[in-house]
Amino acid sequence: MKTIQFLLIALMIIPCTMQAQRRKSRNTPAPPVIEDSLFHGLKWRNIGPFRGGRSVASSGVIGQPMTYYMGGTGSGIWKTTDDGITWKNISDGFLKTGTVGAIAVSESNPNIVFAGMGEHAARGVMTSMGDGVYKSTDAGKTWKHIGLDNTRHISDVIIHPTNPDIIFVAAQGAQYGASEDRGIFRSMDGGENWEKVLFLDATTGASSLSMDMKNPLILYAAMWQHRRYPWTMESGGAMSGLFKSTDGGHSWEKMKEGLPKEMGKSGISVSRANPERIYAVIEAEGEKGGVYRSDDAGKKWMQVNKDRVNIARSWYYMEILADPQDENRVYVLNAPVMKSIDGGKSFSNLPTPHGDNHHLWIHPGDNSKMINSNDGGANISNNGGESWSSQENQPTAQFYRVITDNQVPYRVYGGQQDNSAISIASRTNDQGIDWKDWHSVAGCESAYLAFDPDDPKVIYGGCYQGIIEKWVKASREGKSIKEYPELALGNVPADFKYRYNWNAPIISSPHDRSTIYHAGNVVFKSTDEGQSWSVVSPDLTRDEESKQGPGGGPFTNEAAGGENY
């Protein structure tokens, strides 16, 4: 009897419960809709780090010995008036693109400044194109776009020494395709109108331009046949060469005697101390590459140095500058800055605060004053390069990507181009975020970073060529945990056991933070913090052997791994 009563009571309760559940379901609020307008009041704030980023353009100002300009490859135009103690951005709100390839200040009117947009170091990763030329007539306070929109990458801007209405622009042009917006351009009216005065073909642009400042009708140009693909860099061919004009750019003649018949990228510089002397750094086959010199204004050339250090990774460097006061002193910019005092016959290293050097400006009346641009920013010297100003005051770093943890206050992590990966505080109780609030972690510039966001005591970070590192916060030490260690530098991807993109992804599992995934042409998995790995996928690429050869050619291989496809 009790059993029957229990069943009757249960049958009466169940419908009520189900009805209550239905009412509860109907009353459950819909998930909130996040409107874009909610974010309109947010403002960006700079948290650092104040560790300079890549620069390929800089210039001093004649008559103002403590004033300099620099152009960042992602940060616009900056100016210092105190010899580099402080830098101020002067282009925000004026430029449509942030990458500066060349900058020049008029020698006859320091208020006139020209900036050519689009960095000229033709990287396969982290290279941004520009949108032509900008002009300032008030020493950088305001800027106006003045054309050459589709030149993409500009290597030099040259201003006539006494007439700032006459400007020449060396346009490298588009990297990944054919384009007629390349070569040497000239304006005779301050940039109002432009004419193309030297053009060879749709894949050959101008990598360097130099003017005889004692006779501005004479110009020297280095033309570069090149094209970049995701899997290789073509640098050089029959169209590359050195050219000279003696009539202000109206006509040009190719210089040949003593030069390689075919060449790749080159740079050229005429000595201000002796305009008969011209220097060039040339990429060419085998020992034909190196530093060349002419002592008769380009009629005949001779190779004076074939040291490999001056032409390594030619597509990325190939900058040369003749000292304006000493015809025997010449500088070649590569990973290091190399200096010769014997007319290019021998070179020694000139230390700079950072490697990968792309530009050098020397005061024409005082060769002890100079500014150098490199992958760490810009630095100034008042003693011929014996010491330099700091790059730790330039908030111009390029970051590949960023990620945050869940701490309070949270920290931001990312990999800085040509530098380490870092962790930096989002706020402090001090008077700002400075050097003591950030530190390096796992990985390098191209790092993907993975960790437990609630407790980031162990960080996994990547680097190019598939390098992966485990970093422990308690000891501030890291170690490599790559799946299959092998020498990748200089070898072709077809010979690798595994192939990795420059930006090889790394994630940790949200279900178990000791489980890590790392992706190359296959996906790897580790369940013991990188002590061991297993392959958990097939080859996920097209595995095209035709795209697994040398990273560069025909004269110089590119070996760092950016072209692994």
Report the percent of the chain where pLDDT is more than 70: 95
Do the beta carbons of residue 124 and residue 563 sit within 8 Å?
A: yes
Continuous segment of H or E residues that includes residue 557: none
Q: What is the per-residue pLDDT for 11?
A: 46
Which residues are registered as beta bridge partners of 268? 280
User: In sequence order, what are the residues at sequence separation of 6 or more whose Cβ sits closer than 8 angstroms to the Cβ of residue 455?
Assistant: none
pLDDT in tens, 313-325: 999 999 999 999 9
Task: Annotate 465-482 with three-state secondary structure.
Answer: HHCEEEEECCCCEEEECC
Mean pLDDT of the chain: 93
Q: What is the per-residue pLDDT for 10?
A: 46
Continuous segment of H or E residues that includes residue 57: strand 55-61
Do the beta carbons of residue 269 and residue 321 sit within 8 Å?
A: yes
Continuous segment of H or E residues that includes residue 24: helix 2-27
How distant, in Å, are the alpha carbons of 340, 509, 520 from that of 466? 38, 19, 7
Among the listed ranges 30-39, 77-86, 217-226, which one has the minimum average pLDDT value? 30-39
pLDDT in tens, 361-373: 999 999 999 999 9
Token pair recorded at residue 221: 């140009």
> How do the residues of the chain divide into helix, strand and coil, expressed in percent and rounded to 5?
10, 35, 55
Q: What is the per-residue pLDDT for 278?
A: 98
User: Residue 5's pLDDT band (boundaries 50, 70, 90)?
Assistant: low
pLDDT at 519 over 80: yes
pLDDT in tens, 446-474: 999 999 999 999 999 999 999 999 999 99
Do the beta carbons of residue 543 and residue 561 sit within 8 Å?
A: no
Do the beta carbons of residue 72 and residue 386 sit within 8 Å?
A: no
User: Residue 13's pLDDT band (boundaries 50, 70, 90)?
Assistant: very low
- Nearest CA to 360 among 390, 319, 389, 393? 319
pLDDT at 475 over 50: yes
Q: What is the per-residue pLDDT for 97?
A: 96
Do the beta carbons of residue 449 and residue 414 sit within 8 Å?
A: yes
Q: What is the per-residue pLDDT for 564?
A: 87
pLDDT in tens, 118-152: 999 988 876 789 999 999 999 999 999 999 999 99
Q: Residue 109 gets which letter from DSSP? A: -
pLDDT at 22 over 60: no
- Nearest CA to 560 among 154, 225, 87, 121? 121
Q: What is the per-residue pLDDT for 269?
A: 98
Across the range 274-286, mean pLDDT stands at: 98
pLDDT at 40 over 70: yes
pLDDT at 14 over 50: no
Do the beta carbons of residue 428 and residue 410 sit within 8 Å?
A: no
Which residues are registered as beta bridge partners of 480? 469
pLDDT at 508 over 90: yes
Continuous segment of H or E residues that includes residue 376: none
- Nearest CA to 356 among 339, 341, 378, 340? 378
Q: What is the per-residue pLDDT for 26?
A: 55
Q: Residue 371 gets which letter from DSSP? A: E
Tokens 């050339």 locate to 301
Parallel, antiparallel, or unpaired for β 64-72 and 77-80?
A: antiparallel
Do the beta carbons of residue 359 and residue 58 sit within 8 Å?
A: yes
User: In sequence order, what are the residues at sequence separation of 6 or more whose Cβ sits closer than 8 angstroms to the Cβ of residue 299?
Assistant: 255, 257
What span, in angstroms and rounded, lies between the C-alpha atoms of 536 and 293?
A: 57
Q: Residue 317 gets which letter from DSSP? A: -
| Residue 49 preceded by cis peptide, ω within 30 | yes
| Residue 554 preceded by cis peptide, ω within 30 | yes
What span, in angstroms and rounded, lies between the C-alpha atoms of 70 and 133?
A: 15
- Taking the model in full, what pTM does it have? 0.92
* CATH H-level, domain 55-268+356-381: superfamily: YVTN repeat-like/Quinoprotein amine dehydrogenase (2.130.10.10)
Alpha carbon distance, N-terminus to C-terminus of the chain: 79
